[in-house]
Structure 1
Amino acid sequence: MKKKSFVMSMILLLSISMVLAACGGKEGGKTEKASGDGKGGKPKFVSILTGGTGGTYFPLGGSFAKIITDETGIKSNAETTGASAENMQSLKDGNGEIAFTQTDIASYAKEGEEMFKGSKVDNVKAIGTLYPETIQLVTTEKSGIKKMSDLKGKKVSVGAPGSGTVANAQQILEVYGMKFDDIKKQDLSFDESVDGLQNGVIDAAFVTAGTPTGAVEQMTATEKVVIVPIEADKAEKLIKKYPYYTIDKVPAGVYKLNKEVPTVAVQAMLVARGDMSEQAVYDITKALFENLDQITHAKGKLIKPENALNGVGIDVHPGAQKYFDEKGIKASK
């Protein structure tokens, strides 16, 4: 009888232990997902949130995913998204580990401004800036649009909802004394904008992306592409009010342009969830910045580790900072 009682007691204790272990596993699930597999904080998989297939983020994200997979052993893939603003919100919500964003959008998210009013994003940190994100107001020769004031009353795409392009379009129109009410605003992605321009559904489209932008480049097969200039005085006015902009240009030859077109740019940046382990982000940062020769997109040539801390605007992830410290890289003043 005593033996039977002892066995029953052991079974009961074992059952209780299993329940407690299961509960502990559930409580620790989020930490394990964010920090890794418990072996040096190395996750088994990371998702890179990019943008539309016609932009620059997506093809670059594909190259980044391959480098991360090959060099760190962490499986990775690139996901199409609505780009910058959507990506910051997705990381806040835990849907993804790494993302592309514009420096201006990251700053809005951190401060709870613009599209992030009342919804600050405080769990995202920078890996590093990458290259200029050129603001391109794209139209066609047949539209007759040659300058910003020609946009009044026209059907103009200002970018996909949730993208940083929307804020860029609004701010640029502002320095020209215009608002969205002055145009027939269309909320289209890069690819949708190109289709709209080619089919005559829209007259012009704001595109914020590295040049050459795939979707715009494809237009040259059937249309004579026109990039509307942002004049120097307007660019200076814009930069004075919104310091994250810089002077830029679309070079001659790109999109078969006969001459370069003056414009402005923000910076593209790679960010990570703040709860990713220091070791994982260090490994990823090292892999990316030491294998830039594997990037086939033209923008890969502009990505340099020595420039990666310039203009980030938000806190740098400790893992990325460790890599830059080892290399003696600091932000330029």
Structure 2
Amino acid sequence: MFRSMKTFLGAAALTVAASATSAEELRIGTASLGGAFYPMGQSISNVVTKHAGAGLSMVPIVTGGSVQNPNLIAAGEVEIAITNNNLAALAIKGKGPYTKAGPIDIGAVAALHPSVLHMMVLADSDIKTFEDLAGKRVAVGPAGGGTLGFLNFLLPLHDMSVDDFTPSFVSYSDGFSQLTDGTVDAALALSGYPAGAVMQATAGAELRFIAFSEGQLDAALAANGAYMSVEIAPDVYGTADSGTLIGVNNMLVAPNTLDAATVQAVTAAIFDNLAELQGENANARQIEPAMSLQLAIPLHAGAQAYFDAK
């Protein structure tokens, strides 16, 4: 009987060990605190952990943001990440910020909320247009964040470079804090709206959007079809006037080497429980499932299987 009990306990231990091995935790790359990517990643993690089943869980990771995230996937530091349409298209071709790394083999998992380039100053600032940033101190977000990708696109269109102003490479939260305490003259943040960093800043200061000079936004949109114009109403941040900003759709991406069944389970957890996700995260209310079929890169095999079944 003792031997039988030992055999039983040994088998049980093996079963527990096998169960522990089958559990899978996915790390989702988000961005710095104060933007929309981290809370979105946190909400997605909650829904996936709750509904994906089969021991699958997810945890959000603070990163440099949308530019860095494809590189983190390539390095194996995260298994899934948030980036945007334009950067995903560059990543799979090994172009732009991914020239050094070469093509990154990622597929789209889901369309998320759009991000807009918040360009803001204190209401009484003498900075009116993008060109007025010349000679100023500007919080540009973290190195590796999506804001820099937009700047690298917009500056040449304005015959400017980053050397024309003094950049401060800090998180969005810190950048808008610097704006309100006068350390910088302007703050930028590529984020969904409302952005936490901006909301926090408006609690103690009146802000204003920096405008594009006449024709400049149209020229930018013509130069890159991945971008779009987004109107932010005054009631979003309590500004005196609305803001016409440049934006881009975001997406969830994963390496094409990630198991298709795992990605299908993640996709199902998100879209089969979208109302729950939207109840937890305001930016998720801007998610349109049909947009997942209109992204700049092909769907991951697991995501494709989910949408084919629908």
Whether these two folds match at TM > 0.5 is yes
* CA–CA separation in structure 2 for the residues paired with 1:254 and 1:175: 29
Describe the SS at the equivalent of 1:253: helix
* CA–CA separation in structure 1 for the residues paired with 2:104 and 2:69: 13
Alignment match, 1:71 = 51
Indicate if the aligned counterparts of 2:33 and 2:171 stay in contact, CA closer than 8 A: no
* CA–CA separation in structure 1 for the residues paired with 2:166 and 2:75: 33
* CA–CA separation in structure 2 for the residues paired with 1:189 and 1:259: 26
Indicate if the aligned counterparts of 2:70 and 2:104 stay in contact, CA closer than 8 A: no
* CA–CA separation in structure 1 for the residues paired with 2:219 and 2:138: 23
Farther off after superposition, 203-212 or 141-150: 141-150
What amino acid does structure 2 have at the position aligned with 1:220? T
Alignment match, 1:148 = 130
Which of 52, 59, 81 does residue 32 from structure 2 map onto?
Answer: 52
CA separation of 1:60/1:42 partners in 2, compared to 1, >3 Å: closer, same or farther?
A: farther
Offset of residue 297 of structure 1: 2.1
Farther off after superposition, 241-250 or 141-150: 141-150
Q: Does 1:277 align with 2:272?
A: no
Q: Report Cα offsets for 1:68-100 as digits up to 9, x if no partner.
A: 111013121111111112211110011111101
Farther off after superposition, 64-73 or 42-51: 42-51
Offset of residue 42 of structure 1: 6.8
CA separation of 1:38/1:315 partners in 2, compared to 1, >3 Å: closer, same or farther?
A: farther
Farther off after superposition, 281-290 or 108-117: 108-117
Offset of residue 305 of structure 1: 1.1
* CA–CA separation in structure 2 for the residues paired with 1:204 and 1:38: 54
Percent sequence identity over aligned pairs: 28
* CA–CA separation in structure 2 for the residues paired with 1:55 and 1:158: 13
Alignment match, 1:233 = 215
Offset of residue 151 of structure 1: 1.0
Q: Report Cα offsets for 1:82-126 as digits up to 9, x if no partner.
A: 111221111001111110111111122222222211212423211
Runs of 4+ that moved beyond 3 A: none
Alignment match, 1:314 = 297
Which of 260, 268, 284 does residue 242 from structure 2 map onto?
Answer: 260
What amino acid does structure 2 have at the position aligned with 1:92? A
Q: Report Cα offsets for 1:113-141 as digits up to 9, x if no partner.
A: 22211212423211022121111112112
Offset of residue 203 of structure 1: 0.8
CA separation of 1:95/1:105 partners in 2, compared to 1, >3 Å: closer, same or farther?
A: same
CA separation of 1:227/1:284 partners in 2, compared to 1, >3 Å: closer, same or farther?
A: same
Alignment match, 2:100 = 118
Describe the SS at the equivalent of 2:100: coil
Q: Does 1:191 align with 2:176?
A: no
Describe the SS at the equivalent of 2:234: coil
* CA–CA separation in structure 2 for the residues paired with 1:179 and 1:218: 30
* CA–CA separation in structure 2 for the residues paired with 1:228 and 1:110: 33
Q: Report Cα offsets for 1:124-166 as digits up to 9, x if no partner.
A: 2110221211111121124322222221100112221111210
Aligned-residue CA RMSD in angstroms? 2.0
* CA–CA separation in structure 2 for the residues paired with 1:319 and 1:42: 19
Farther off after superposition, 149-158 or 212-221: 149-158
- With normalisation by structure 1, the TM-score equals 0.82
Farther off after superposition, 169-178 or 236-245: 169-178
Describe the SS at the equivalent of 1:128: strand
* CA–CA separation in structure 1 for the residues paired with 2:96 and 2:172: 22
Offset of residue 230 of structure 1: 2.8
Alignment match, 2:289 = 305
* CA–CA separation in structure 1 for the residues paired with 2:220 and 2:147: 15
Indicate the structure (1 or 2) with the bigger Cα radius of gyration.
1
* CA–CA separation in structure 2 for the residues paired with 1:319 and 1:43: 19
Alignment match, 2:119 = 137
- With normalisation by structure 2, the TM-score equals 0.88
Q: Which runs of 5+ in 2 are unaligned?
A: 1-16
What amino acid does structure 2 have at the position aligned with 1:236? D
Alignment of 1:205-224 (within 5 A): 205-224=187-206
Indicate if the aligned counterparts of 2:94 and 2:102 stay in contact, CA closer than 8 A: yes
* CA–CA separation in structure 2 for the residues paired with 1:192 and 1:98: 26
Indicate if the aligned counterparts of 1:63 and 1:294 stay in contact, CA closer than 8 A: no
Offset of residue 204 of structure 1: 0.8
Alignment of 1:102-117 (within 5 A): 102-117=84-99
Indicate if the aligned counterparts of 1:135 and 1:264 stay in contact, CA closer than 8 A: yes
Describe the SS at the equivalent of 2:89: helix
Q: Report Cα offsets for 1:259-286 as digits up to 9, x if no partner.
A: 3211111111101122111111111101
Offset of residue 43 of structure 1: 5.3
